[in-house]
Structure 1
Amino acid sequence: MNHSIRYLHQLSLLVLFVFLAIAAGAAEFVIFHTSDTHGAISARPDPNAKEGEKRIIGGFAVLRNLIESYRANPAHQNARIMYLDSGDFFQGTPIVDRTKGGVMIDFLNHMNVAAVTLGNHEFDYTYQNLVEQFKSKKFPVICCNVFEKMTGMLPEFSEPYRIYTHQGRKIGIIGVDTPETATITFEKNVKDLIFCQPEPIVTNLVKLLRRSGVDFIILLSHLGYDGDLQIAREIEGIDLILGGHTHRLSKEFTWVPPYNTAVAHPGSSCENASIVHIDLTDRNEPVLRLESVLLDQATIGEHPATKALENSYLDELRAEMERVVGETRVHLARGVSGGDSPEGSLIADAMRKHSGADFAFINFGGIRQPIAAGPITVEDVFLVQPFDNVLEVIEMNGFMIRDLLEKSYSNEFREIDSTDQQTSIEQNRTNADGLKLVVGPPHGILLPSGLNITYDPTLPPMKRILQLTTADGKELEAEKIYTVALNDYVAAGGDGFTHLRDLPNRRKTTILVRDALIKHIEELQLIDKRPEQRVFNVKLRETFID
């Protein structure tokens, strides 16, 4: 009997030893991934929380606490833990604007980020500013498709790829920025750069990395979700795409045929983090697992050192930003791309009123955050309109306005998928079904004030508008001259509307769009209902759920 017990004891020890040996030899990478953080360094009330909830989310102090909890967990003691970011860490909050992005270099250094790629908003304060800010970075910038015109080379601060090793396994990371940056950023900010189509460059780099013995290839991408799907379909050899740009939140992988490439996006504004587990113990059969974690302050807590860094930047700014300018009883969001936009209508109304124009348009991509029901602060408005864009008024006849809007509503369309539906419920408070427009080239989507637009996205481009009337139901007169208010980014040819820069009769004001919105909300005092619908997509069905 004692002999049997001793044998079972020895056997259990052997099994435990084998298990520990296997665990110790496991080649696991744990990757924390963010994108489009837009200077959101601190926790704040959840803009998408349901009425009555007081959830505080986001910020780097919460993210670091989450990462450190994994480092301290014995289950991950043999994993290589890394933090990656897919760009657009500049632009979006008062502090990142005041420091021209410098605060984000400080925070990314502090977070020991393993690598970042570039997003379009890194160039918002000019390329020269980016070069200067990157002088203090302590992390690699990986981007293979942005070149200097003068030299034909990558900028000195960037590299096309980097290889990371662990337990004898190699992961190669290639970085890409959207080539749209050339048209969705002020031209003067990127005049010294060339933004190339990434496919041929990435194809060659994938081959190079495979020849170098890399076991697993990650594309750290700022192409947007649809761009990621396209490159996944076209290029063999990419195992995982960690993407950004379109602020999509993935709670599970999208597996893209024909090469079975995994795609994941982490959302935006440092509200969520993706955690990707990559087990390369068998290099021929990688095992992937995705977690999407809401950065809930109450659940995760905040890292004291990161919180201290946050306070060193924000203490002086908080009093100014916390001033209440109005109140809303309804949740205001920018909506489904190609559909109506209650928040866009509010902004466009402010632009029209404070410019004195007949009509106004705000670009869909220029609306950055929803406005939650409750008091509206200066900071809330800043998060909605972080750009220092001013109002510009251009004279156009009715034919030119219709042509402008045909361009705007001629983008590709696609069916709303299950992730879109969930996002619409959480962010827009709508059940959505049908067809949406793809955000991106060739043109931005313009949201109106003073006009109603009815269109069919399945009709040929430039022939989609079924009806275009003024707010009081009158048809536009083709030869009549109207005044149109835009932000100076669009007026200067941004979002693909290059023809606008050549229109001669124009008036550039000194009024920031953000300031016009603050004044408009102060004048309204209380917003008790959403603005009336102005955009009617006949292939999109939406119903509010609140």
Structure 2
Amino acid sequence: MDRREFMRMLAAAAAGGMTLRARAAGPEGAGLYDLPRHGNVSLLHFTDVHAQLMPLHYREPAVNLGAGPARGRPPHLVGKALLSHFGIRPGTREAHALTFLDFEAAARRYGKVGGFAHLATLVKRLRASRPGALLLDGGDTWQGSATALWTDGQDMIDAAKLLGVDVMTGHWEFTLGADRVKRAVEKDLAGKISFVAQNVHTADFGDPVFEPWVMREVNGVPVAVIGQAFPYTPIANPRYLVPDWTFGIDEENLQRTVDEARAKGARVVVLLSHDGMDVDLKLASRVSGIDAILGGHTHDGVPRPVAVKNRSGQTLVTNAGSNGKFLGVLDLDVRGGKVASHRYRLLPVFSNLLPADPEMAAHIERVRAPFREKLAAPLAVTEGVLYRRGNFNGTYDQLILDALMAEKDAEIAFSPGFRWGASLLPGDTITQEDLLAATAISYPNVGVNDMTGATVRAVLEDVCDNIFNPDPYYQQGGDMVRVGGLEYACHPGARSGERIQDLRLRGKPLEASKTYRVATWASVSEAARDAGGEPVWDVVGRWLRAQKTITPRTPNLPRLVGVGRDPGMST
């Protein structure tokens, strides 16, 4: 090792909050990933990868407001409030992974996160010290990238098998269509990965579509893993893609399934959930007998489980972030037929601290090789940070909205409140791959509609209730629809139908009876599908190529009313 490399290691150690002694004991990153084993059952958990095989930057939210009793409680903490609550030192690697603070500087300092080749290395290291550890995939794995779109999810299915996933559940997987999902489960995953979902049934007779749960033995301990797919799939995504299946929270059936698993000898019962953390917290208080909920959907990186009391004791509720940034490690000490103690760590996956696993790297290279030229096609250069995460518009969302309004000559634009897509730093070239990482879905068509002011307001109210309804069971776990051209105020704590206020277009009040030209994409209706229209990546790509350089975007944010000093919002 030369002097430059030695000094680089020292700098990385200091930046990560580790002492020289801890780093000197082993290779770079040993202090972060040297996790002592606890107990006799280990569960490794990732979720919401959104088909990101390559390392990336991903900015966490500056606004994540909780509704009702969830206000100011995990996961609704951001920035300094989050660090303070969990006792994390600012300026460290972990602080960068969990917050938006000093994002650009920290991203350049600590490098990219995630990447399946680096995740594979971490999984193998942990399994070497935890014989029999189960690897659980919380869903949203087969969608979110160009290669996943072009291979119908096959790139991710093969990567998950190579990674050694034992059990998974789903959400965006269903947007590939029911036939594709069934074919993948019955053929591609058979004998390798169990796809579980207790809350998906046939619409005719109510039969289970997938295995509700599976039993796995870990070091002599029977462990039941129950699946909970996203309960609002036919609402948040097109119903026509899964026309013969029903979804729901299905609390009563879940309790029966837990009881069945216990009756058949399970000493540990885990719910692998894609509900969203607020829903899981409520569910944990009402369903008994679950030791832990390993959750996803809302992309919340939560460093410690929340212990929720219920009539049989307590349930640990976790959420393991998104985009391959984190791997959750839950170690359980099972004695006398029950969990006696636990240890949990949410490990950030820093690609410059974990060498790429050769086997996974070779798979990724094979997958990308046929598309390399298309993926790398340059569109424009960004002068500002591009991100899309938070309850309201991000700069990447704003870019999409600006492109829609310009290309479709629209006064107003709506873009879905999706939380996936890599963040880009100033000076980065926006490639076709980057654009598809923010737009690659199976219903991408852009439409232009004439809407009255009353309809525009009704759309915003409906989505707002999905976000800020105080009852988690009436939320859908996404973010607010992104809005271009239109200014408005939002009162999250108001009653349903009264949260959207003071709508204005170019400074003038929006008129309820007047018609406005509105550009949208990702409509879930069959009418929008049948109407056709350009895919959003063609529209935005054309605009980017014409711009060449993208100046920093200022997100069009609503004026918030009644929020006050909320730890879920950076001030």
TM-score bin (small chain) = 0.7 to 0.9
The answer as to 2:176 corresponding to 1:125 is: yes
Separation in structure 2 between the aligned mates of residue 414 and residue 334 of structure 1, nearest angstrom: 22
- Kindly report which structure 2 residues correspond to 1:7-86, keeping only aligned pairs within 5 A, or say none: 28-44=40-56, 50-51=104-105, 52-53=108-109, 55-73=111-129, 76=130, 79-86=131-138
Residues in 2 aligned to 1:328 and 1:444: alpha-carbon distance in whole angstroms: 24
Distance 1:438 1:374, change over 3 A: farther
Query: Equivalents in 2 of 1:34, 1:166: separation in Å?
Result: 19
SS at match of 2:363: helix
Aligned to 1:19: none
Change (3 A) 1:439 1:385: farther
- Per-residue CA deviation, residues 421-475 of structure 1 (Å, 9 max, x unaligned), is xxxxxxxxxxxxxxxx9994499732211110112122211122220000x2011
Indicate whether 1:299 and 2:299 are aligned.
no
- Runs of 4 or more consecutive aligned structure 1 residues displaced over 6 Å after TM superposition: 541-545
Which residue does 1:420 correspond to in 2? none
The answer to whether residue 445 in structure 2 is matched with residue 385 in structure 1 is no
CA contact (8 A) 1:27 1:166 kept: no
The one-letter amino acid paired with 2:499 is: R
Matched, 1:454 2:489: yes
TM-score (norm 2): 0.78
Query: What secondary structure does 1:352 align onto?
Result: helix
CA distance in 2, matches of 1:220, 1:410: 26
> CA 1:384 to 1:69, structure 2 compared with 1: closer, same or farther past 3 Å?
same
Deviations 1:242-281 (A, max 9, x none): 0111111121111123443111111112121111111114
Letter in 1 for 2:177: T
What is the CA-CA distance between 1:340 and the residue it aligns to? 4.3
Give CA deviations for 1:178-206 in whole Å, capped at 9, x if unaligned: 22001112121010111133211110111
Secondary structure class of the residue paired with 2:159: helix
Q: In proportion to residue count, which structure has more strand?
A: 1
Distance 1:488 1:84, change over 3 A: closer
Q: Percent identity?
A: 25
> Higher relative contact order by CA 8 Å / sep ≥ 6: 1 or 2?
2
How far 1:291 moved relative to its partner?
1.4
Whole-Å separation in 2 of the counterparts to 1:183 and 1:475? 31
Aligned to 2:449: 394
Residue in structure 2 matched with residue 309 of structure 1 by the alignment: 363
Partner of 1:426: none
CA contact (8 A) 1:147 1:195 kept: yes
Aligned pairs for 1:133-282 within 5 A = 133-134=184-185, 135-137=187-189, 138-155=192-209, 158-258=210-310, 259-282=313-336
The answer to whether the Cα contact below 8 Å between 1:126 and 1:190 also exists between their aligned partners in 2 is yes
**Residue 351, structure 1, aligned to residue 385, structure 2:** no
Q: Deviations over 1:342-382 (max 9, x none)?
A: 33222112112212222111121276443333322221111
Q: Residue 439 of structure 1 contacts residue 445 of structure 1 at CA under 8 Å; is this kept in 2?
A: no
Question: What whole-Å deviation, never above 9, does each CA across 1:196-238 have from its counterpart, x for those lacking one?
Answer: 3321111011111222232111001011111111110111111
Give TM-score, length-normalised by structure 1: 0.81
What is the CA distance between 1:41 and its match in structure 2?
2.0
Equivalent residue for 2:480, pick from 420, 445, 469: 445
Could you tell which deviates more after superposition, 533-542 or 392-401? Answer: 533-542
1:453 is matched by which residue type in structure 2? Y
Residue 465 of structure 1, aligned match among 500, 510, 534: 500
Contact kept? 2:132, 2:219, Cα under 8 Å: no
CA distance in 2, matches of 1:335, 1:208: 39
SS of corresponding position for 1:124: helix
* Equivalent residue, structure 2, for 1:6: none
- One of 523, 526, 545 as aligned partner of 1:489: 523
Q: 8 Å contact 1:370–1:384 — kept in the other structure?
A: no
Match of 1:21 in 2: none
d(CA) in 2 for partners of 1:228 and 1:438? 9
- Superposition deviation, residue 57 in structure 1: 2.6
Deviates more, 1:201-210 or 1:479-488: 479-488
Residue 282 of structure 1 deviates from its aligned partner by 4.6
Q: Does 1:332 align with 2:386?
A: yes
Distance in 2 separating the partners of 1:324 and 1:43: 19
| Partner secondary structure for residue 373 of structure 1 | coil
**How far apart are the structure 1 equivalents of 2:562 and 2:234?**
31
Deviations 1:475-502 (A, max 9, x none): 1222222221111425x28xxxxxxx69
Query: Helix, strand or coil: the match of 2:534?
Result: strand
User: C-alpha separation between the residues in 2 aligned to 1:296 and 1:285?
Assistant: 31
Check the 8 A contact 1:393/1:508 in 2, yes or no: no
* Alpha-carbon distance in structure 1 between the residues aligned to 2:159 and 2:509: 53
Q: What's the Cα RMSD here? A: 2.8
Shift of 1:405: 1.9
Q: 1:373 to 1:281 in 2, by over 3 A?
A: farther
5+ unaligned residues in a row in structure 1: which ranges?
Answer: 1-25, 416-436, 494-500
Q: SS of the counterpart of 2:386?
A: coil
Counterpart-to-counterpart distance in 1, 2:234 and 2:200:
10
CA distance 1:351–1:306, change in 2 (3 Å): same
Which stretch of structure 1 is more off in the superposition, 448-457 or 43-52?
A: 43-52
Q: Secondary structure at the match of 1:489?
A: coil
**Count, aligned residues:** 480
Letter in 1 for 2:458: D
Measured after TM superposition, the shift of residue 94 of structure 1 is: 0.9
